Structure 1
Amino acid sequence: MTSYKSLKFLKVENVGDFVYKVTLNRPEKYNALNLEIWGEIGDCFKLIHDDPDCRVVILQGEGKHFCTGLDMSSGSVLGMGSSDEQDQARKSRATRRNVEWMQRQFTYVDDCSKPVLLAIHGYCMGAGVDLATACDIRYASKDAVFL
């Protein structure tokens, strides 16, 4: 299983009194979600679920925006990078498998045994809104924009 220290795009900090702060950490991409960060979200919240040193989680985004949704700069995010040699049905099935896997990662947030408080600032778009709905409580700054 992954440890918190092995996470590349998430920062996990114990800020004291059994409170963990989890930060989406791709500020140069406005915290857009690629497959790697998506998997890290699931791994992180599976660990937090069983962590006796954590009783509450604050989730936030690093930089100017909370999350601008799906990272479309990587064409393979939804299976769109599938081989042109594959027929449309196989491409569609690959896309469905990817979407189901991505949804499962957010379910780990929803199923976490610790309350997850979300701090939203700047843009919260697309998949960022989906992630927000998996959290227990959402706080938005005055500059928050939901799309």
Structure 2
Amino acid sequence: MAKYTTIEIVQENPKSSVFKLYLNRPRHSNALSREFFTEFPNALSSLDNNPNVAVIVLSGKGKHFCSGIDLKTLASISADFQSPSDRGRSGEKSRREIKFMQKAITAIEKCRKPVIAAVQGACIGGGVDIISACDMRFCTEDAFFSVKEVDLAITADLGSLQRLPAIVGYGNAMELALTARTFSGSEAKVLGLVSKVFGSKPDMDEGVGAIADGIAAKSPLAVIGTKAVLVRSRDMSLSQGLDYVATWNSSMLLSDDLKEVAAASLQNRKPSFSKL
């Protein structure tokens, strides 16, 4: 398994198809360095293409999930954009850098396998960008969130402004983004940003682990199909979404997984599916 400097992949149970993907800069509250934006999509791609992986749980090492983009990285990127002799070329370079970082976050949605965010402590700025792209989100009681970018004199550009409205509603997303206020895990639950709030990190690890194991036991074709259709349908009309799922199921529905579910039901046992 590849070695990374900003993240870590862990298979805690060798018999499980649930893999942990950790943001791994705990001394920096898992702030996102420039290296992260190269390593993160590469790690997701390796997990996506690993047939032993069914579900990915994304969390942070240490006390916090993610404190946002590292300020040194932000300053370095800003300095790189300075080109007093040619504003046009400076702007074009800036756009390429932003698109490069956006691609790293969008890799979560591109990954066929479900990605579940498990948040403890701070989830600030870029951390919100990351969890907004995840398929499911959970947190601890001590978790706190902020769409922080306006306080840094920038417009959030890695996905929060595009994804949050569909999760928490347009009005709530606008208020959170313009005020940059900090909100709690319990409010995140009320807003719909997270599905459940756990009393402690061990409780969350156990609870999210059970959810991930449950998903991992299901037909992998059905799981990746459900994610693909939901993500694609978000940007489609109802009729386009129905057409897309019809096309998807016309090629995937008649699988060995479907036969296995029927056989397992008749034999009163749990179904067993081939790896994907």
| TM-score normalised per structure 1 | 0.90
Q: Return the offset for 1:85.
A: 4.9
CA displacement at 1:81 relative to structure 2? 2.7
1:1-147 matched pairs, under 5 angstroms:
4-16=1-13, 17-74=16-73, 75-77=75-77, 79-147=78-146
Hey, what's the Cα distance between the residues in 1 that align with 2:103 and 2:64?
Answer: 24
8 A contact 2:83–2:89 mirrored in 1: no
Deviations 1:89-111 (CA, angstroms, capped at 9, x unpaired): 22222121111111111111112
Tell me: higher relative CO, structure 1 or 2? Use CA pairs within 8 A at least 6 residues apart: 1
Distance (Å, rounded) in 2 between the aligned partners of 1:33 and 1:67:
8
| Bigger helix share | 2
The alpha-carbon deviation at position 83 of structure 1 amounts to 5.0
Q: Taking structure 1 as reference, are residues 131 and 86 closer, same or farther at Cα in structure 2, changes over 3 Å only?
A: farther
Distance 1:144 1:86 in 2: 45
- Please state how far the C-alpha of 1:86 moved relative to its aligned partner: 4.3
Describe the superposition over 1:10-62 as per-residue Cα deviations: whole angstroms up to 9, x where unpaired. Answer: 11011231110010000111111111012111100111111101001110011
Unaligned runs of 5+ in 1: none
Q: Percent identity?
A: 34
2: CA distance, partners of 1:82 / 1:115? 36
Query: Does the 8 A contact of 2:58 with 2:118 survive in 1?
Result: yes
Assess if the C-alpha contact under 8 Å between 1:11 and 1:24 holds in 2: yes
Write the distance in 2 (CA, Å) between the matches of 1:119 and 1:89: 41
In structure 2, list runs of 5 or more residues that go unmatched: 147-276
Superposition RMSD in Å: 1.5
Work out whether residues 116 and 134 of structure 2, in 8 Å CA contact, stay in contact via their aligned partners in 1: yes
Aligned length: 143
8 Å Cα contact 1:80-1:95 kept in structure 2: no
Moved over 6 A (4+): none
Higher share in strand: 1
